[in-house]
Structure 1
Amino acid sequence: MTDSLRIEGRAAALRIENLDTDQIMPKQFLRGIDKAGLRDGLLYDLRFDAQGRARPDCVLNRPSHAGASILVGGSNFGCGSSREHAVWGLLQYGIRAVVAPSYAEIFHSNAMNNRLLLVTLAQPEIDRLMDDADDPARNAVCIDIAAQTLSSASVQAGFALLSRHRRMFMEGLDSIGLSLGYAAQIDAFAQRHWAQQPWLRDVARVAQQRLG
């Protein structure tokens, strides 16, 4: 179950340190001009062999983990290039949260701005959570965003969120929606700015008119 306050579902453990964005979303899936089809590319080389056959050893191909909505990963998750497609692909696949000890900075920003929740826990908690995730009888995880807590069969932990990120998840906003919440203040600032420096208002349009 996923809503603006809680994320609940099966967890899948990816025991890979430094999982980079090229692994998460390989370059051959970046050819389009929109976000379409990125679900198919997610972790492609981990999920499929060179002939396109599903790898039975990949956790996301196991029937016991079908529909997993929470990934538990290793440290420095999402390192490498800044491609936002990695985040879009995770969301299209149905992943709503990633839990790891640390994240690459740009990936963290891309994820949170697109409302892919990143939870940071200490390594001992990650180890226990991965063990839970590997056991089909124990791989259910509940993340309470309002309380900023995560619970599984053997983990009860709190996690930190920046206030703006917490607000985005609580109110169902992406980064654009969050910015639009300040529209009145932005407009008031613009009006004061133009009143003080009227020659700067619509300068591009005025220049075009003068140039004919």
Structure 2
Amino acid sequence: MTVKRSEYVASAVTPSQYPEACYPEIALVGRSNVGKSSLINRLVNRRNLARTSSQPGKTQTINFYLINAAWYFVDLPGYGFARVSHNTREHWRTMIEKYLSQRSTIQQVWQLVDLRHPPTEQDQQMVQWLSHYRFPKLIIATKADKISKSQRVKNLGIIRNRLDVPETELISFSAESGEGKEKLLSEIEKILGYQEEVL
């Protein structure tokens, strides 16, 4: 797949602010600062389509990016950020659950986890929630360039065990090196069911 067009469309807090549900959507979930924006930018070959920040908790809305005028990446607020009030965290959780439970055009949910660390309790809760509601999902272990290859193999095993996912649902990724990019683009082709030449 070649990404030829990508554009920011909308930021939403409530369903009434979502774009019209006329394109397939791939939703990205994960802890704050796990690299959702960096993944989007790498896959669409743009530096700043999705805003990145070294400050966790920056994404506070549901952001819609239209790709190839054919499908959306949907970047959801990061969960598990401690430096905000309990009420704010609950607001983000409600926002995420409302989108996931009500949006009919979701084709797959990509849950990002940091490959450098074992999955957190919030990571485990999220994957259990996705499994309970039977969402097609993919676990993406980000920041793969930050650790050695031997440590990477070990940590991927820990992630598989902690999140109870098969190897086929886990991909390591690096926004810096591009590792995993082609696998994810192939996954998108599979999800959406069309070939590159029609984009």
Higher strand share: 2
Task: Give the TM-score normalised by structure 1.
Answer: 0.30
